[in-house]
Structures are given as C-alpha cells and as structure tokens.
Structure 1
Amino acid sequence: MASKEANLEALLYAAGDSGIEEQNLTALLEVDGEELGQIAEKVKQRLAANKDSGIQLIHVAHTYKLTTSPQTAEIIEKYFQKDLTKNLSQSALEILAIVAYRQPITRVEIDDIRGVNSSGALQTLVWRGLIETNGKKEAPGHPKLYVTTDYFLQYFNYQSLADLPLIEDFEDSANNEEIDLFDPKKTDQDTQKEGQ
C-alpha cells in the first residue's frame, strides 16, 4: 500500500497545472489540515533534497501543485521556444477542438466529453500558447474556464473563430472520413489520398 506522501505526489501529478485545493486533499487522503501540511512538507523536502529532481511542490492560495523546479528553467525555456505545436498528440488535438468549439469550457467539462482525464494535455496546450484561462465558472469550486488564444488563430491561419469549419460540414460528409479540423492548408486532394 502506498504511503500518504506517495499518494499526495500521485494526486498532484494527475491534477496537472490546476493543482488540488487543501480541502479536497484532506478528504482524499483522509487527514486533517495539520497532517496534510506535514505530509506536504515531507514531499517538498524530499524533492528539494534530490538535486537531480526536476520538479518541486508548491503551496499557493490554499492549493498544492507540482511544478518544474527553478534549476530546469533553461531547458524548459528552450523547449517552448521551439515550434512543437506541429507534433501535438491526438489527445491534445481532441482537447483543442473541444475548446475551440465549446469555449469557454472547464477541464471537468472537457473530461466529461472525452471520458478521460485531460489535465496533462490541457497543460501542454496552455504552455504552447494555444489556449489560456479566462475567468472562472460560477459553480462549486469556481473552476477555471479555458478559451483559445490569438496565437491559435494565427497558427491555424484563421482570422476569427467564425472561420472554423462548421461541425455540420463534417457530420454530413458523404464519405464519413476523418478530417483534420486544424489543417486549413490541406487540400481536398490531400484528404482523398489519405483515405486511399
């Protein structure tokens, strides 16, 4: 059976950039606030003591989260300077499409549509500047709302969100073939070749 420290670390990893609020962690770990603080401090010290660790535990606004450690800033900056959006995973593209068509939308609503946890890929899209948070929903917990960015429009060569292909165009497709919503440069001929 995993220790409470391991469980905390796993929960924060799964939560991604959103982190988890103290009250939710105390319920999940079945501890009180004081014990949660002690567990978090042990994890924080263990990560800090390991000079080879690239992550750290932080506590901000009653929320715990895992982030990259300061000594990795150079490589993280190098990573995001590269144009890696061409290599987005299938799950990231799914989330990007959901946000584009359903914005503003929360992570939980995205998870409900996809049926799986989306926090990791969602964080990647935020880091790459394709989506961003824009306020909070008037609902329990006040979850963050995600929207696409101006860079999203620029990257996919759209003037505005009105230029997005209509969902009905794909639903009514006679061939019922898979179409990349985010490749406006792709020709019909290219699409036909892929279907062969």
Structure 2
Amino acid sequence: METYDERLTGMLESFLFIAGDDGLTLNQIASLLQVELDAAASIAEGLRVNYEERPDSGITLRLYGGHYRLVTKAEFADDIVRMLENPTRNSITQASMEVLAIIAYKQPVTRIEIDDLRGVKSDGPIQTLVARGFIMEVGRMEGAGRPILYGTTDLFLDRFGLESIDMLPPLSEGDDEEQFGDTDLFMTKFQEAFEITEEGGNND
C-alpha cells in the first residue's frame, strides 16, 4: 500500500518532469508538496538517492543554480550521443518543427510561451532541438522563477540557408501577429516558406 512519503516522492517526480529544463527551487517544491522546507529537501534527496541506486534508471536528480532538475546520468552520455547521431533520426518531427518555427519567429521565447501557443507541453521537442544544435538558451526572463529564454543558433541559420534571422521570410502579408495563435495556419505558412514536409526538410 502506498505510503504518504511515497506519494509525495511520486508527486515531486511528476512536478520535475513537467517543469523540464526550468526545474524547481526548494521553495517551489515545498509549496507544491505543501510541506516545510526541511521536508521538501528530504524528499528531494530521497528521490535523488533512489535514482542513483537504481541501475535500471537512466535519469537522476541534480541541483543546478538553486533549481532541481531531472537529467540523464553521465554514464549513459556516449549512448545518448550515439542515439542523437543515429542517421535514422535525421528527420524533424512535426512537433519539433512547430517548436522550431515558434522560436525562430518569436525569439527570445520561454517554454511556457511556446506551450501556450501550441496548446501542449513542449519539453521533448525543446530538448531534441537543443541536442541537435538548432536552438539554445539565450538568457532568462526577469520575474518569478526566471524562466529560460530560447533562441535559434548559427547552425539553424546554416541549415535553413539564412545569413541572419532577419532573412526569415514573412509568414503572410503584413506579418499578422494573430496567426501565432493558430498553430495550423502558422505551421502551414512556415512549411510553405521553407518547402518542408512533416517527415523532414530539404536541409535536414
């Protein structure tokens, strides 16, 4: 039967997964779990130890810059690189293309803003695009939590044949900002501009 502590640990794991790259501070964890700071720290440490002691787990918990984040274990680094370099993964998925398009035209932009525009979580596509070198962290937004801001890289410009981000083609006449609220229209315009299909692109 599930214990109270086990439920809190499971809740924390869920919260950290949803938080993605932004992670959670100890204060945020305590507030979300509705426990004192000492208890929150103990639960986080217990989760970390659990990950470290499990040989069948490829992820662990790390504290970076005051934020707890779920990360892959260092011992699997070579395997992850091999996976990312697998030629069968050359195509860009529709989800990743949506995120890349939003970042290209709206940068700098936070994950939350991307999620709001797409209507779904974007952690996976963002991690994929970072790993492939198309986007990177370009700073943090001022305010609560200081969320990460994302922008495109020189590799993005190179792969899409652009000298600078200013050379991005307009999505429509007048560059109507409202189209960003319509994912289907937004993606249609972006894909038409670069002659990209859902399975991949002419430069990727």
TM range (shorter): 0.7 to 0.9
Equivalent residue, structure 1, for 2:57: 53
Counterpart CA distance in 2 for 1:183 and 1:160 is 16
Q: What's the counterpart of residue 99 of structure 2?
A: 95
1:123 is matched with which residue: 111, 121, 127? Answer: 127
Question: How many residue pairs align between the two structures?
Answer: 183
Secondary structure of the equivalent of 1:8? helix
TM-score normalised over the length of structure 1: 0.82
Find the counterpart in structure 1 of residue 90 from structure 2.
Answer: 86
| Residue matched to 1:194 | none
- Name stretches of at least 5 consecutive residues in structure 2 with no aligned partner: 177-184, 197-204
Q: For residue 69 of structure 1, report the CA deviation from its aligned partner.
A: 0.6
Change (3 A) 1:115 1:37: same
- The answer as to whether partners of 2:23 and 2:68 remain within 8 angstroms in 1 is yes
Which of residues 6, 15, 25 in structure 1 aligns to 2:10? 6
Q: Which has the higher contact order (CA 8 A, sep 6+)?
A: 2
Detail structure 1 runs of 4+ shifted over 3 Å in the superposition.
81-86, 169-172, 176-180, 182-186
In 2, are the aligned partners of 1:55 and 1:68 still within 8 Å (CA)? Answer: yes
Q: Deviations over 1:133-155 (max 9, x none)?
A: 11112232222211100000111
When structure 1 is superposed on structure 2, of 148-157 and 11-20 the one drifting more is: 11-20
Contact kept? 2:130, 2:136, Cα under 8 Å: yes
1:129 aligned counterpart, secondary structure: coil
1:150 is matched with: 154
Compute the TM-score of the two structures, normalised by the length of structure 2. Answer: 0.79
| Aligned match of 1:193 | none
Paired with 2:167 and 2:191, the residues of 1 have a C-alpha distance of 11
Q: After superposition, what is the alpha-carbon deviation per residue over 1:148-187, rounded to whole angstroms, capped at 9, x for unaligned?
A: 0000011122222233221115989xxx89355387366x
Cα pair distance change 1:144/1:81, threshold 3 Å: same
Distance 1:136 1:76 in 2: 27
CA change 1:182–1:158 in 2 (3 A) is farther
SS at 2:121's partner residue?
coil
Cα RMSD of the aligned pairs, angstroms, is 2.6
For residues 4 and 16 of structure 1, do their structure 2 counterparts lie closer, same or farther at Cα, with a shift above 3 Å needed? same
**What displacement does 1:61 show?**
2.1
Sort the Cα spacing of 1:86 and 1:74 in 2 relative to 1 into closer, same or farther, 3 A. Answer: closer
Gaps of 5+ in 1: 187-196
Percentage identity across aligned positions? 36
